[in-house]
Structure 1
Amino acid sequence: MKHFQIYLIVLGVVLTACKSNKSLNTVSGIEVQGHRGDRGNFPENSIPAFISAVEKGVDVIELDVVISADKKVVVSHEPYMSSVYVTAPNGKPISKKQEHLFNLHTMNYDSISKFDIGSRGNPNFLKQSRIKTYKPLLAEVIDTVEKYIKNNHHKPVRYNIEIKSDKKEYGISQPQPEEFVDLVMALLKAKDVLHKINIQSFDPMPLNILRKKYPSVTIALLTSKPNIEKNLAQLDFTPEIYSPHYKLVTNAFCDSLRLKKIKIIPWTINDDIDIQDMIEKHVDGIITDYPERVISKMK
């Protein structure tokens, strides 16, 4: 019932806000990735944000996953309840001092789902719609998006799934990397979507494990550091995608990666000038909080 009510709310809001974009005209094959769905306009990593991104015509839905105490794959950027936008079940905002008390890896999913991640809005995204919603399971996201696409005759989308992993957090706010990878992959196999996903992470450990155990999966290395060779040296293989902070991207940077036959998909580009710059550099994809801004420039 909760999911159905949220679905109806977001459907009404999205259809009012924009017309369906079922056939996106892209420039030079550049794909548009909705960062955490449509974070600039809807609560991040939520069902409403993902439906909005689909409705606007993204090629890829970008999202983050963590693991709950009962081994569920939960869609969340942080492995805790953020003080920036989360409200506790008692109706009170999470404070900065409380964040560490709500470690998602120590909470079962039925408890996690009771927290509201949308009613407060987000001070970093002032136009974001305030909708009462929750952190969904990855399984629910896939089921809901695929059903929505089928029922509304939208083009298919792919999923860019970030494993939120940090060496300092192994066994604390996350499982050990191999277990993390196996839990995510088991879910993706069960949903039969391996042909439409890639896995990304800042942490090379899960990516190395992923390539060894699941060699057919497309992998992206996320980075905010400038040295391409040093960053790639963390891996036991050459990834299909290199995903840097957009300010690192220059023409020489792109040339270096193209010589290695590695795709370039920078994050997170929101400003019109920066979007245009990435288009002119012919990157392979643009990750953005505002899909409509990129799409409007790509028509």
Structure 2
Amino acid sequence: MKRHLLKIAFVGTLLPFVSCSVLKNSAMKTADNFPKQSLEAHRGGRGLYPEGSFAAMKNAIDLPKVTTLEMDCHITKDRKVVVFHDDYLNPKFVLKPNGSEISEKDKTLKIYNIRYQDLIKYDIGSKFYKDFPDQKKQITRIAKLADLIDSTEMYASQKRKTPMFYNIEVKSREDKDGIYHPKVEEFIDLMVQVITDKKITSRTVIQSFDSRAIKYLHKAYPQIKVSYLIDANYGKSIEQTTTALGFNPFIISPYYKMVTADFIKQCHKAGIKVIPWTVNTKEDIEQLQKLKVDGIISDYPNLF
């Protein structure tokens, strides 16, 4: 642990020193307090408000059944951790600082190539987004993870008797290292620094499709719960998955159409929770809950 902290200090991202035993004890207590049904607002609930925004998170906090705020992170050119799903400024819903459309030739404006002081000038909430026609439109800026946590923690403390949980995704992929994001270890170190600084470690799950990220998190930050995301093309059994990872993750989060009673049985036998994504109809939510999933991730948290 000390050796790892020294390594982070060298790159200028020193985490506060906390003994492994204290962190592990904290994590064990939180595992007991983890919601029996983790009802998660995907990107804050992008079917209702601009994704990853405080307005979306605020609305999710106002919905009494929501337990968890789900969000994605990327890293800017100046190494700020920002809340945004895509690794580029998506022309479907992003407008330039002057309010104009992003053209086809500019559609690869990479988050990793832009400093935060420039990134914040883009509007991600005013343009009509045909994939989510009911989304409330308002000028919205890409938030730093640290700022969004500050806002949600303050608002939740006023509205809730118990604090919110967080499900935060590392948006990394091996073939994009050094192009769309830093190496996965640095990416995670920067994220964990924010989460630790904001004192939400015990209420946070970090998720990723990238098995490298899951393995690194487990090794370097055993106090943090991890969720392994898998898509519809994933072909390994639960046993093959845990063998490949070298441990049993806290959660396996599959594409919702993959979920069967047998899949859940295999996971639960291994002590792994099942929280499928992204479930956007009341009928599908109820059907999955009948199968005894441990939570639901939805763009429409008002359906819970």
Q: TM-score, normalised by structure 1?
A: 0.86
Partner SS state of residue 58, structure 2: helix
Q: Tell me what 1:248 maps to.
A: 258
Q: 1:179 aligns with which of 183, 186, 194?
A: 186
- Post-superposition Cα deviations, 1:24-69, rounded to whole Å, max 9, x if no partner, equal xxxx932210000011110011111111111112100000000001
Partner SS state of residue 44, structure 2: coil
Partner SS state of residue 36, structure 1: helix
Report if the CA contact (8 A) 1:270-1:289 is conserved.
yes
CA gap 1:94/1:214 in 2 versus in 1, 3 angstroms: same
Report if the CA contact (8 A) 1:30-1:282 is conserved.
no
Q: Tell me what 1:266 maps to.
A: 276
Could you tell me the percent identity over the aligned residues?
36
> How many Å separate the matches in 2 of 1:242 and 1:154?
28
- Post-superposition Cα deviations, 1:147-170, rounded to whole Å, max 9, x if no partner, equal 111233453111000000011100
> How many Å separate the matches in 1 of 2:85 and 2:96?
17
Q: Tell me what 2:30 maps to.
A: none
Unaligned runs of 5+ in 1: 1-27, 295-299
Unaligned runs of 5+ in 2: 1-34
Partner SS state of residue 52, structure 1: helix
CA gap 1:42/1:154 in 2 versus in 1, 3 angstroms: farther
Residue 125 (1) aligns with residue 132 (2): yes
Q: Tell me what 2:88 maps to.
A: 80
Report if the CA contact (8 A) 1:65-1:74 is conserved.
yes
The answer to which of 261-270 and 153-162 deviates more is 153-162
Partner SS state of residue 107, structure 2: helix
Report if the CA contact (8 A) 2:61-2:159 is conserved.
no
Equivalent position amino acid for 1:62 in 2: E
- Post-superposition Cα deviations, 1:172-204, rounded to whole Å, max 9, x if no partner, equal 010001101110111111111101101000001
Partner SS state of residue 116, structure 1: coil
CA gap 1:115/1:274 in 2 versus in 1, 3 angstroms: same
> How many Å separate the matches in 1 of 2:281 and 2:75?
33
Q: Tell me what 2:237 maps to.
A: 228
> How many Å separate the matches in 2 of 1:207 and 1:33?
20
CA gap 1:133/1:280 in 2 versus in 1, 3 angstroms: same
Report if the CA contact (8 A) 1:226-1:248 is conserved.
no
Q: CA RMSD in A?
A: 1.4
> How many Å separate the matches in 1 of 2:134 and 2:291?
29
- Post-superposition Cα deviations, 1:111-151, rounded to whole Å, max 9, x if no partner, equal 11110000013111110001110110100111000111123
Report if the CA contact (8 A) 2:123-2:139 is conserved.
yes
> How many Å separate the matches in 2 of 1:186 and 1:226?
34
Paired residues for 1:53-68 under 5 Å? 53-57=60-64, 58-68=66-76
Report if the CA contact (8 A) 2:62-2:159 is conserved.
no
> How many Å separate the matches in 1 of 2:271 and 2:43?
27
Report if the CA contact (8 A) 1:65-1:164 is conserved.
yes
> How many Å separate the matches in 1 of 2:203 and 2:101?
37
Report if the CA contact (8 A) 1:121-1:129 is conserved.
no
> How many Å separate the matches in 1 of 2:247 and 2:57?
32
CA gap 1:256/1:121 in 2 versus in 1, 3 angstroms: same
> How many Å separate the matches in 1 of 2:282 and 2:174?
35
Partner SS state of residue 62, structure 1: strand
Residue 286 (1) aligns with residue 296 (2): yes
Equivalent position amino acid for 2:237 in 1: I
Report if the CA contact (8 A) 1:223-1:231 is conserved.
no
> How many Å separate the matches in 2 of 1:131 and 1:226?
41
Equivalent position amino acid for 2:206 in 1: I
Q: Tell me what 2:156 maps to.
A: 149
Partner SS state of residue 161, structure 1: strand
Report if the CA contact (8 A) 2:188-2:217 is conserved.
yes
Q: Tell me what 1:94 maps to.
A: 102
CA gap 1:96/1:281 in 2 versus in 1, 3 angstroms: farther
Q: TM-score, normalised by structure 2?
A: 0.85
Partner SS state of residue 123, structure 2: coil
Q: Tell me what 2:7 maps to.
A: none
